[in-house]
Amino acid sequence: MVCFRFSRVPGSGLVLLCLVLGAVSSYALELNLTDSEKATCLYAKWQMNFTIRYETTSKNYTIVTISDFGNATYNGSICGDYQNGSKIAVQFGSGFSWIVNFTKEVSTYSIHSISFSYDTSDNTTFPDAKEKELFTVKDTVAFGIPLNDIFRCNSVSTLEKNDVVQHYWDVHVQAFVQNGTVSTKEFLCDKDKTLTTVVPTTVPSPTTTPTPKEKPEVGSYSVKNGNGTCLLATMGLQLNVTQDKVASVININPNITHFTGSCHSQTALLRLNSSNIKYLDFVFAVKNENRFYLKEVNISMYLVNGSVFSIANNNLTYWDAPLGSSYMCNKEQTVSVSGAFQINTFDLRVQPFNVVEGKYSTAKECSADSDLNFLIPVAVGVALGFLIIVVFISYMIGRRKSRTGYQSV
């Protein structure tokens, strides 16, 4: 855990912000806000990401995902009281801000509202945006929590308004902390209550083996921008999910899967979703100005038992190929996103950059396919050699018989 100590927030003491840095795209943010007596007055720990849809100058719509909060600051966060509510204020990236307001009653406190602001004049994040201005979306939440309880919601919560979708999970927050001690008594969100009260009919074994699935159907996906198709992907996808020591194998059916995405000079996004998959993101990036690779995978989906499974990893290094080419791997390949989530790909071919006339460029094959291609000519050579030997032996036998016939005459 890496901790950063910021300067005093007026009237609120020192802010200690700890970022748990791991191989996930959405940092687990942890805030411990103290008052002038150095007693904790506000505690929060959570994960989040944002998806923003905006119009380009070519009158098309592009989606950008905001999930990197490594440079977050907390200027403006306050402890609050009965007259002045408590507030978490977060600034990150280029012109992004996120604010949560809390209010206090006699025996309860409320998460009153959540607002998110973004500036489309940032050409790096919003290239070719038609409107260059600051946008703010505000959602009124307004639900009460017992005053000395900590609110917990591990499930994914979604706020959707205008062109912004906000996802939150692994949330632990307590405003107006009493006597400087964060409570151990939890107040659960409705989704977590549902998961907590579900009693399984059978007790799972410590480790369960998923039922083998047949090979998934191969789907074709594409993303377009103002200049035509900018991303191509063809692949069969099989998801391997482990939760509570129970493993599941899920094949993605491309016939009922929707897809969208966005293309930029240094990054490209392919997003898949269906009735049970809220989103499955493949994020590609350029490295060394001459190669591309799969950098990030994010998923949030509903499992058979109704629970929500969410994982994110922005530290991947799969599907590496030169810019101007495509990456291809016909053999089964595994993308390990985390210990609990892997993706098996079949008949894979992707090109997230420099697509010309909507067609794949020359493919850079994976090592598994290259090994197979190496064996094919070897096998053909061996077969031809064997055939030559057979022909030669046949010729010699025939010649010997011919000579024997002349001697008989």
Q: What is the pLDDT of residues 158-189, one digit of tens each?
A: 888 888 888 888 899 999 998 999 999 999 98
Which tokens go with 100? 């949560």
With cut-offs at 50, 70 and 90, classify the pLDDT of residue 328. very high
The model's confidence at residue 293, banded by pLDDT at 50, 70 and 90, is: very high
Instruction: Kindly write down the DSSP assignment for every residue of 176-243, as one continuous string.
Output: S-GGG---S-EEE-HHHHHHHH---SSPPPSS-PPPP-PPPPEEEEEEEETTEEEEEEEEEEEEEEEE
Best CA proximity match to 48, nearest among 312, 338, 315: 312
Identify the CA nearest to 272 among candidates 303, 324, 326, 236.
Answer: 236
Average pLDDT for the chain: 82
Q: Pick 4 or 388 by higher pLDDT.
A: 388
Distance CA 31, CA 323 (A): 41
Distance from C-alpha of 74 to C-alpha of 7, rounded to nearest angstrom: 10
- pLDDT on residue 405: 53
Element (H, E) at 273: strand 267-273
| Range of weakest confidence among 11-25, 39-53, 278-292 | 11-25
Q: Residue 270 contacts by C-beta under 8 Å, 6 or more apart in sequence?
A: 221, 223, 231, 233, 259, 261, 281, 282, 284, 352
pLDDT digits (tens, 9 = 90+) for 371-406: 555 556 666 777 787 788 877 787 777 766 655 555
Q: Residue written as tokens 């103290």?
A: 34
In 3D space, the residue among 9, 173, 7 whose CA is nearest the CA of residue 76 turns out to be 9
**SS3 label, residue 384:** helix
The predicted model gives 298-321 an average pLDDT of 88
Provide the 8-state DSSP code for 94: T
**Residue 139 · residue 159 · CB < 8 Å:** yes
